[in-house]
Amino acid sequence: MTSQVQTTVEPEYENAPDLAAYADTLIATRESRQPDWDTLAFQTKAGPQFARAQIRYVGSGATGNHEDDARIIPSRGFTFSNMLLPPGAEGPEHTHHDAEEGFFVLEGQVEFGIHRGSEVARRTLGYRDMIVVPAGVPRSVKNVGDTDALICVIIGRQKPQVPVYPETSAVHGVTRD
C-alpha cells in the first residue's frame, strides 16, 4: 500500500522568470529589520514596564496590520518575530484563542508565566530555552535579567487574531487608540 503525498507549488516560484530574484524574496536579514516600539506602545498606558519592541520577519503577527511593510516575508502558515525586552520589561498576560505560541530565548533571562485565574506558574528560561503555549492558555513574559532580552516569537497561524487580555491582565480594558 503506497501513500501519495499531495504537493503544491507556489505560483510565484513556478512563474518566476528570475530564480535568484525569487530566492531573495524568501530572505529577511538582520540588517533589514527595525525594532518597532510603536506597535505595542498602547500597553504603556498601564505602566512603563510594558514598553518593548517587535522585530517582524514573517507575517505581521497578532499585533496589528503590518502587511504593507515590504520587508516582511509574507506568512504562508505561521508568523515569526523577535521581541526585544529591556531589563524589567513585560509582556502582559494575554491569550491567543486561535493559535499556539512558541517563545525561544536568544539572549537574556526571561520569566514566562502560565496563568489560570489568580494562579500563575512561572518559569525562567535562558539562552536556547523554549516554551510552547497552546491556544487558549493565558501567558505572560518578563525580562528578569539586567540586560536586554531577545526572544523569538512564533505563532502558528498565517494571520493570528489580536490577543485577548483577561480581567486579571494589567492591560485589560486598555485600548489601542
| pLDDT value at residue 68 | 77
pLDDT in tens, the chain (177 residues): 667 787 788 888 888 899 999 999 999 999 999 999 999 999 999 999 999 999 999 998 777 777 778 889 999 999 999 999 999 999 999 999 999 999 999 999 999 999 999 999 999 999 999 999 999 999 999 999 999 999 999 999 999 999 999 999 999 999 888
90-94 β-sheet, strand order = 90-94, 139-143, 110-116, 119-125
How many domains does the chain contain in total?
1
Measured from the Cβ of residue 65, the count of other Cβ atoms closer than 10 Å reads: 10
Residue type, 133: V
Q: Can you tell me the distance from the alpha carbon of 30 to that of 63, in angstroms, rounded to the nearest whole number?
A: 20
Q: What is the pLDDT of residue 1?
A: 61
Residue pair 131/102 in contact (Cβ under 8 Å)? The answer is: yes
Give the CATH number, domain containing residue 144.
2.60.120.10
By the 8 A CB rule, do 43 and 171 touch? Answer: yes
- Does residue 6 lie within any of the structural domains? no
Provide the residue range defining the domain that includes 109.
11-155
The answer to whether 114 and 120 have CB atoms below 8 angstroms apart is yes
- Beta strands per DSSP E along the chain: 53-58, 79-85, 90-94, 101-107, 110-116, 119-125, 130-133, 139-143, 149-155
Write down the pTM of the prediction. Answer: 0.90
| Contact call for residues 36 and 84 (beta carbons, < 8 A) | no
- Whole-angstrom Cα distance, residue 22 to residue 168? 46
SS3 (DSSP) at 103: strand
Tell me whether residue 177 is in a domain: no
Q: Cell numbers for 40, please give them.
A: 505595542
Is 92 part of a structural domain of the chain? yes
